[in-house]
Amino acid sequence: MSVAPEQVEGPELALSVVIPIFNEEGNIERLYRELTDTLRDIGREYEVIAINDGSRDRSYDMLNAVQARDARWHIIHFRRNFGQTAAIAAGFDAARGDIVVTMDADLQNDPRDIALVLDKFAEGYDIVSGWRQDRKESLFLRRIPSMMANRLISRSTGIKLHDYGCTLKAYSFDVVKAVKLYGELHRFIPALASQMGVRVAEVPVKDRARRWGSSKYGFSRTFKVILDLIVVVFLLSYFSRPLYVFGAAGFLVGGVGTLLGAYLTVFKLLTENKIGDRPLLQLAALLMVLGVQFISTGIVADMIMRTYHESQHKPIYYIRERRRSETVDETSEIPNTEFK
What residue ranges bind Mg ion (CB under 5 A)?
104, 106, 108
CB 13 within 8 A of CB 46: yes
Report d(CA 146, CA 113) in Å as an integer. 21
Please identify which residue in 17, 47, 49, 53 interacts with ligand UDP, judged by CB under 6 A. 53
Q: Which is nearer to ligand UDP, 22 or 164 (CB)?
A: 22
Contact 78, 1 (CB under 8 A): no
Judged by beta carbon, residue 24 or residue 202, the one nearer ligand UDP is 24
Instruction: Kindly tell me which of 107 and 175 has the beta carbon lying closer to ligand UDP.
Output: 107
- CA-closest candidate to residue 25, choices 236, 211, 250: 211
User: In angstroms, what is the minimal distance from the CB of 27 to Mg ion?
Assistant: 10
Asked if residue 207 binds ligand UDP (CB under 6 A), the reply is: no
Residue (of 287, 262, 292, 265) closest to 276 by Cα position = 265
Count of chain residues binding ligand UDP (CB under 6 A): 16
Based on the shown chain and the rule CB under 6 A, indicate whether residue 104 belongs to the binding site for ligand UDP. Answer: yes
- Segment contacting ligand UDP (CB under 6 A): 76-84, 91-99, 274-282, 301-309? 76-84
**Who contacts 54 (Cβ-Cβ below 8 Å, separation ≥6)?**
22, 78, 79, 80, 81, 82
CB-CB neighbours of 53 under 10 Å: 26
- C-alpha 274/C-alpha 147 separation (Å) is 59
Indicate whether 106 belongs to the interface with ligand UDP (CB under 6 A). yes
- Considering only residues 134 through 163, tell me which ones interact with ligand UDP, judged by CB under 6 A: none
Among 26, 83, 97, 250, binds ligand UDP (CB under 6 A): 83
Q: Measured from the CB atom, is 106 or 202 closer to ligand UDP?
A: 106
Q: How far is the CB of 217 from ligand UDP (least distance, A)?
A: 5
CB-CB contact of 85 with 186 (8 Å): yes
SS3 sequence of 41-76: HHCCCEEEEEEECCCCCCHHHHHHHHHHHCCCEEEE
Residue type, 293: Q
Pairing of strands 169-172, 97-102: antiparallel
| CA separation for the pair 21, 84 (Å, rounded) | 8
For position 208 contacting ligand UDP by CB under 6 A, the verdict is: no
Least distance to ligand UDP from the beta carbon of 47, Å?
18
> How far does Cα 104 stand from its chain's mean position?
17
**Choice from 37, 41, 217, 306 touching ligand UDP (CB under 6 A):** 217
87 contributes a contact to ligand UDP by CB under 6 A:
yes
Q: Which long-range contacts (CB under 8 A, 24 or more apart) does 121-125 make?
A: 121/170, 123/201, 124/199, 125/198, 125/199, 125/200, 125/201
Taking the complex as a whole, the smallest distance from the CB of residue 57 to Mg ion amounts, in Å, to 16
Q: Of ligand UDP, Mg ion, none, which one does residue 87 interact with (CB within 5 to 8 Å by kind)?
A: ligand UDP
Hey, is 14 helix, strand or coil? strand
Report 19-48 residues binding ligand UDP (CB under 6 A): 20-22, 24
- Among 18, 95, 105, 200, which residue sits at the site for ligand UDP (rule: CB under 6 A)? 105
Residue 105 interacts, among Mg ion, ligand UDP, none and using kind-specific CB cut-offs from 5 to 8 Å, with: ligand UDP
Which one, 204 or 213, has the nearer CB to ligand UDP?
A: 213
Q: Which residues contact ligand UDP by CB under 6 A? A: 20-22, 24, 53, 81, 83-84, 87, 104-106, 108, 215-217
